[in-house]
Amino acid sequence: MENGKKLYLYPLWLRIWHGINALGILALIFSGISLHYSDRGILLLDFQSAVAVHNLAGVIVTVSYFLFVFGNILTKNGKYYRVKTKGLPNRLTKQIQYYISGMFKGEESPFPISEKRKFNPLQKYAYIFAMYLFLPILIVTGIALFFPEIIIEQVFQLSGIMLTAVIHGIIGFLTFVFLLVHLYVASMGKPPGKNYKSIITGWHT
Amino acid sequence: MRFFACTLFLVILAGFLGVLNLNGQNIPEQNQACLKCHTSQAHTIYNDWTEKEEKRLMNPFYILDTIQLAVGVHQVFSCIDCHSMDYETYPHDGQLKLEPMMTCIDCHGGDPTYEDWQFDRIEEEFQKSVHYELHGDQFSCSKCHSQHYYRATARTSSDLREIVDYSNKMCLSCHDNMTKYQLVSEDAKPQLVDIHNWLPNQELHFRRVRCIECHTEVQDSLMVSHNILRKEHATKNCVECHSANSMLQASLYKYQNLRVRTETGENSQKSILGLFTVKNTQEDFSNEYYVIGASRIPYLNTIFALIFFATLGGIVVHTIIRIIKK
Ligand code: HEM
Ligand code: HEM
Domain boundaries defined on chain A: 7-204
Residue A142 CA to ligand 1 center (angstroms) comes to 6
**Would you call A152 an interface residue with chain B, using a CB distance cutoff of 8 Å?**
no
Q: CA A138 to CA A168: how far, in whole Å?
A: 6
Q: Which amino acid is at A9?
A: L
Q: What are residue A155's DSSP bridge partners?
A: A158
DSSP classification of residue A134: I
- Better-scored residue on pLDDT, B85 or B263: B85
How far is the C-alpha of A154 from the C-alpha of B288, rounded, in Å? 7
Worst-scoring range by mean pLDDT, A12-16, A91-95, B124-128, B265-269?
B265-269
pLDDT for B269 equals 34
B285: Cβ contacts below 8 Å, ≥ 6 apart: B253, B258, B259, B262, B263
Cβ atoms A152, A141 nearer than 8 A: no
Nearest Cβ partner of A177 from B238, B266, B311? B311
For ligand 1, is residue A139 a contact (CB within 6 Å)?
yes
Whether chain B has a CB inside 8 Å of the CB on A96: the answer is no
Evaluate if residue B265 carries a pLDDT over 60. Answer: no
pLDDT at A154: 62
Task: Enumerate the β-bridge partners of residue A34.
Answer: none
Q: What secondary structure does DSSP assign to A40-68, as a single string? A: S-SSSPPHHHHHHHHHHHHHHHHHHHHHH
pLDDT averaged per 10 residues in sequence order, chain A, 205 residues: 68 93 96 83 80 95 95 89 87 91 84 84 92 95 86 66 87 96 89 86 83
- Does A36 contact ligand 1 (Cβ within 6 A)? yes
Q: What residues of chain A lie within 8 A of the CB of B248, using their CB?
A: none
Q: How far is it, in rounded angstroms, from Cα B38 to Cα B22?
A: 12
Model pLDDT, residue B112: 86
Q: Which residues of B234-256 are buried (b: 16+ CB within 10 A; e: fewer)?
A: bbeebbbbbbbebbbbebbbbbe
Fold designation for A7-204:
Fumarate Reductase Cytochrome B subunit (1.20.950)
CA distance B262 to chain A (A): 7
Per the CB < 8 Å rule, is A165 touching B292? yes
pLDDT (average), residues B306-312: 96
Residues from chain B that touch A190, judged by Cβ atoms under 8 A, are: none
Please tell me the least confidently modeled range out of A100-104, A194-198, B3-7, B229-233. Answer: B3-7
Q: What is the pLDDT of residue B16?
A: 43
Interval B53-81: pLDDT, tens? 888 899 999 999 989 998 899 998 999 99
Rounded to an integer, the average pLDDT of B105-126 is: 89
Q: What is the pLDDT of residues B156-201, one digit of tens each?
A: 887 888 899 999 999 999 998 888 888 888 888 788 889 999 998 8
Residues on chain B bordering chain A, Cβ-to-Cβ distance under 8 angstroms: 198, 200-201, 204, 238-239, 242-245, 262, 265-266, 268-269, 272-273, 276, 287-297, 300, 304, 307-308, 311-312, 315, 318-319, 321-322, 325
CA distances to A108, A115, A188, B220 from A3, in Å: 11, 11, 16, 73
SS3 of B159, please?
coil
pLDDT of residue A72: 92
Instruction: Confirm or reject: Cβ of A182 under 6 Å from ligand 2.
Output: yes
| pLDDT value of residue B284 | 43
Mean of the per-residue pLDDT values for chain B?
80
Q: What share of chain B is helix, strand, coil (3-state, %, to 5)?
A: 60, 5, 40
Of chain A, the end-to-end C-alpha distance in Å amounts to 6
pTM over 0.90: no
- Mean pLDDT: which of A154-168, B78-92, B286-300 is highest? B78-92
- Per-residue pLDDT at B299: 82
pLDDT for the residue numbered A2: 45
Give dist(CA A107, CA A97) in Å, integer: 11
| Gap from CA of A45 to ligand 1 centroid (Å) | 14
Mean local confidence (pLDDT), B32-51:
88
Atom from ligand 1 closest to the CA of residue A29: 5
Residue in B167, B234, B241 with CA at minimum distance from that of residue B201: B241
Distance between CA B82 and CA B107 in Å, rounded? 11
Other Cβ atoms less than 10 A from the Cβ of B167: the count is: 20
CB contact under 8 A, A36 and B293: yes
Binned at pLDDT 50, 70 and 90, residue B1 comes out as very low
Q: Which residues of A touch B288 (CB under 8 A)?
A: 154, 157-159
Q: How far apart are CA B226 and CA B130, in angstroms?
A: 10
Q: What is the pLDDT of residue A183?
A: 94
The answer to whether residues B289 and B247 touch, using CB atoms and an 8 Å cutoff, is no
Q: Is the CB of A166 under 6 A from ligand 1?
A: no
For A47, the closest of B242, B272, B319 (CB atoms) is B242
The alpha carbon of residue A61 and the mean position of all alpha carbons in its chain are separated, in whole angstroms, by 11
Q: Which of B16-25, B107-116, B252-261, B286-295 has the lowest mean pLDDT?
A: B16-25
